[in-house]
Amino acid sequence: MSAEAVKELMKQKKPGEYNLIDVRQPGEYEQGHIPGAKLIPITELASRISEIDPAKPTILY
């Protein structure tokens, strides 16, 4: 999915209707992230998978 398509999806949907997950490291997230993104570093994804609602579309970056 392109960044433009993600932006369009965010515009069309209300907050809370999708999962936006930042899988980078905390330092990268701190420097700048897409507003509303939840930080789950890729190394923690397996153990924190329950924090992602499977009923909603999920975007990872």
Give Rg (Cα) of the chain.
Answer: 12
Q: Which of residues 1-30 bind other proteins (CB under 8 A)?
A: 1-4, 6-7, 10-11, 14-16, 22, 24, 26, 28-30
Regarding 41 and contact with other proteins (CB under 8 A), the answer is: no
Separation between Cα atoms, residue 17 and residue 10, nearest integer Å: 9
Contacts of 41 (CB under 8 A, 6+ apart): 23, 24, 25, 26
Binding footprint of other proteins on the chain (CB under 8 A): 1-4, 6-7, 10-11, 14-16, 22, 24, 26, 28-39, 45-46, 49, 52, 54, 56-61
